[in-house]
Structure 1
Amino acid sequence: MSIIHAFVRLVLGVFAPGTGRRRAGAPPVAPAPPPAPRRARRAPGASPLPAPRSPYRSAGPIDGEATALVRPYLVAYEGRQRQAWRRAALVLAADFGVDLDVRNLHAAGAAR
């Protein structure tokens, strides 16, 4: 640091102290109290506002018979699993000659 920079810092420190709230040696300042809540004025003859309701709660109890017990994404996943098994069975049947039919159509007279 040069002599000019040191002199400028000294002069600024003496004649222009920091502008922040936390100056050295100053007592701490208590925070200002929050403003009092303002009450809204109603027009004369206006009806009172309805009581607030939660949007996540229905008005009455939930009917257990009408409510689905399985999540829809689980049903979709199981459907995709079944489709994957069917595709695998078709690949086995087409590529390796695995017979997937449980009925034996050509064994009509073999069991004698």
Structure 2
Amino acid sequence: MSIIHALLRSILGVFAPGTGRGRAGAHPAAPAARVAQKPEARAVHRRLPAARSPYGLAEPIDGAATIPVRPYVCVAERAHHDRQQEQQQTRQAQTRRRVAMVLAADFGMDLDGHVVGAERAA
């Protein structure tokens, strides 16, 4: 053990919370005796294989079983589509207003004639 480890252990022993083993009058328990297992019993308790990424597997991932697009991408695309439709409707309304103004200017029509009381104000 190095000097740094010893120093850290002594500092942590003072400032860190206790482990519960240092009670007054308590004696440390004797370590449990290891029971020798038979070779057949050890074979039953084999370790599980390590988790592997699906990208390292030989067979391809089934595309029908997975979600191809994240939900937040769909929401953003839908909002973009809605904004485009709204802008297109605004442009169409502006075009209709411009056509009406050109027709009124060319044919000398008064556009405010249909509004009640507009001829008195003009």
Q: TM-score normalised by the shorter chain: which range applies?
A: 0.3 to 0.5
User: TM-score, normalised to structure 1's length?
Assistant: 0.33
Select the structure with the greater relative contact order (CA < 8 A; seq sep ≥ 6).
1
